[in-house]
Structure 1
Amino acid sequence: MLNVKRLVTTALLALTALVTLPAAPAAADAHSDFINAAGPPAQASRAEFGVPASVTVAQAILESGWGQSALAVEDKNYFGIKCGSSGPGPIAIGCVTRPTTECTPTCHTVYASFRRYASMLDSFRDHGAFLRNNPRYANAFNYTNNPNQFVEEIRKAGYATDPAYTSKVVNLMTTYNLYRFDRPLGASLSGDGRTEIAMVLANGDVKAWRNGRGFTDMPWDADAIVGTGFTPDNAFFADLDGDGRKEIIVVLPNGDLKAWHNDGGFKANPWGANVIIGTGFTAGNTFFADLNADGRSEVLMVMPNGDLKAWRNGRGFAAMPWDGDVVIGSGFTANNTFLADLNADGKAEAMTVLPSGEVKAWRNARGFAAMPWDADVIIATGFSANNLFLPDLDGDGKADITTVLANGDVKSWHNGAGFAAMPWNATAVIASGFSPTNLLFA
């Protein structure tokens, strides 16, 4: 287990064993539950600090005994991070003294001060911040796209004295396919993949509420003014560079698309650099979607003849990053075109609302290609084109269908089955006080 003291003082490179752990859950569903809970916070930490999400989940499993250690259960400390002389730091909410076994080399019980957290997310963020901000681990961040080597680099730098530490972590990543958490999923303002909700206020401010609890009634746990000078019909959010955090985009009066890079995740005005990414667009006929599962949103437009034309994002957040274009559909209108990933393969499906109120979807089997669709299905009934939204509320990569009710409540149906007829398996009222014309998801 992680002993922060040894990370700060090289002489104390001794593996810390926390209080005796209960046996790890034996049931496969208990393991699955922990992994499913750990995935989104690990992805949020990756977006903020760069630690591969697969590594974070595997380390949490190994160092907290599948979340069953006393520190994990009582203090939401999944990595054994100690307070030390610096106290709890900016993320933890306090310190707690607990018995622990240290071997230097003789093993003995000592009392140590450990950090306590409000949530798993905060524990994971603190773990990410510790690795990112400690110079001894700098070389590991040359391998953020190679999780196995990342683990080996932090081990060599003193994270663990166990020579088998790397193989243990890699075995967990392989056995449970934790690498899937490194794959780009639907982005969000915070970077954890769980879509935030937003509204343009009367003064032009864009107010967003952070999704801290996934698919549930009223999952929002914080709010922030993330932009100023916008209108409800001309504010777009899309991840342009594949880092998991959505940029904010507007169509200027001359038809240029201007984007601001999301440098800070979910916070007040997190935007850094800005760039013109396109020309010749209108606010009512601009769409963003990741068509080829590389994490970078393409830009799309419905042509006068009803063709749906897409430009491929080959260069991320850059001036005019598009390196190819293709017609991916026909028979669409600008006010009745929807794009979202329904089956968590990273490739957005296309949808439209039929005159009957049915929502018809076409599955994207071939990514960025001419007419990439290989199947179609009716996924819902009773919707209208001006009141249909498709956020991913729980960060599982599958869009949840959403509408604004007559009383202003925002109702969502959870996508439990992916690309399928009527895939919804739960409902939740996620917000109140909205209208279809002033509801944004980010």
Structure 2
Amino acid sequence: MGKITLVLCLGCFLFSCRSKKGIVTKRPNNTPTVVIGGESKEETKHAPKTSSKVYANATEKYIDVYKEIAQQEMDLYGIPASITLAQGILESGSGKGRLSVKANNHFGIKCHGWKGGKIYHDDDKAQECFRKYKDAKYSFRDHSLFLKDRKRYAKLFKLKKSDYKGWARELRLAGYATDKKYPQKLISIIERYELYKLDKGDVGNSSAEFKMPVVEEQITYTVAKGDTLYSISRKHGITVEELQKLNGLNSTALNIGQVLVVKP
């Protein structure tokens, strides 16, 4: 009986010790929050959300994305950033044309013995060969080299970088484009978006001086084969005159892949 009583007493003692160890108390409110990956759960929950830019139209977005690349090319090769951007906007439909989307070709440069990737596209003739790039920045560099390395463009580099009108005219005379209104189109884009501001000083100063307005997105339409200003205006419920005014057009001529603003 004495042994049994001793065993029972030891059992009760051990059970009471375990019960005390198993008691869970609530953490005080002033205990630090557990940190995961450098920030607390509370901080993550209330962290501000970053908002992305929206633009008045595709052209303003294009300028904001590629303006620094154009300025870097200007510093390296002496081609005005305003001319590079205006050509990119015009040739690529503000980055929405087929060549720019499928081939990162922003300047409509054809193969001309090109050994890299290729894409075939209807231009002056059906299914002409155009250069294809892995990234748009290579298209900008190839555009600089295309002008710098060909003798027919030599007169361009005798002009001042601030003379964007002279550059626009000489590009047409040197045979860059067959469109007789090519210079006027470039000049119109440069003046409408004040791209000439990018031709002053270095990249840092020009970028600070040139500010893009941030507003709601406009509705655009990409010109397809067989489209006319009249058919596009009918489709979107506006007049031909309104369509011309929205896009700074002086004629009814259109190019396949050209991006038009159809609603302000």
Q: In the aligned structure 2, how far is the partner of 1:115 from the partner of 1:45? A: 19
8 Å CA contact retained: 2:119, 2:132 = no
1:120 counterpart (105, 119, 136): 136
User: How much does 1:135 deviate?
Assistant: 0.5
TM-score by length of 2: 0.54
Aligned counterpart, 2:208: 344
- Matched residue, 2:199: 182
Distance 1:161 1:30 in 2: 25
State the AA in 2 paired with 1:80: G
Stretches of structure 1 that go unaligned for 5 or more consecutive residues are 1-26, 89-93, 103-107, 187-192, 194-292, 296-342, 347-395, 397-442
| Alignment correspondent of 1:142 | 158
Q: 1:152 deviation in Å?
A: 0.8
The aligned counterpart of 1:132 is 148
Given that residues 38 and 120 in structure 1 are in contact (C-alpha distance below 8 angstroms), is that contact kept between their aligned partners in structure 2? no
Deviation readout 1:112-153 (Å, 9 max, x if unpaired): 322111222211111011111111111111113311101111
2:88 aligns with 60
Larger Rg: 2
* SS in structure 1 at match of 2:121: strand
Distance in 1 between residues matched to 2:209 and 2:112, nearest whole Å: 43
SS in 1 for 2:72: helix
Alignment check: 8 A CA contact 1:155 1:165 kept: yes
Closer, same or farther: CA 112–125 of 1 in aligned 2, 3 Å: same
1:39 counterpart letter in structure 2:
K
Superposition deviation, residue 99 in structure 1: 2.8
Report what 2:178 is aligned to. 161
Structure 1 length-normalised TM: 0.33
Of the structure 1 ranges 48-57 and 155-164, higher mean CA displacement relative to structure 2 is found in: 155-164
Q: CA separation in 2, counterparts of 1:58 and 1:345?
A: 18
Q: Name the structure 1 match of 2:40.
A: none
Q: Report the Cα distance in structure 2 between the residues aligned to 1:99 and 1:150, rounded to whole angstroms.
A: 27
Instruction: After superposition, give the CA deviation of every residue in 1:362-410 in whole Å (9 maximum; x if it has no partner).
Output: xxxxxxxxxxxxxxxxxxxxxxxxxxxxxxxxxx9xxxxxxxxxxxxxx
Aligned to 1:97: 119
Secondary structure at 2:118 match in 1 = strand
What CA deviation, in whole Å up to 9, does each residue of 1:60-114 have, x standing for no partner?
A: 11111111111101111001112222x24xxxxx222313132xxxxx52x2322
In terms of fraction of residues, the more strand-rich structure is 1
Aligned residue identity for 1:123: S
Question: Matches of residues 394-405 of structure 1 in structure 2 within 5 Å?
Answer: none
Decide whether aligned partners of structure 1 residues 121 and 138 sit closer, same or farther in structure 2, where only a CA change above 3 A counts: same
Q: 1:117 & 1:176 partners in 2: Cα distance?
A: 27
Q: Give, in angstroms, the shift of residue 345 of structure 1.
A: 4.6
Work out the CA distance in 1 between the residues paired with 2:149 and 2:106: 19
Could you say what secondary structure the match of 1:28 adopts?
coil
Q: Give the % identical residues.
A: 37
Letter in 1 for 2:149: N
CA distance in 1, matches of 2:72, 2:181: 28
Who is 1:42 aligned against? 70
Gaps of 5+ in 2: 1-54, 213-264
Q: 2 CA distance for matches of 1:81 and 1:162?
A: 15
Partner amino acid, structure 2, of 1:82? K
Once the 2 structures are TM-superposed, how far is the Cα of residue 33 of structure 1 from its aligned partner?
Answer: 1.1
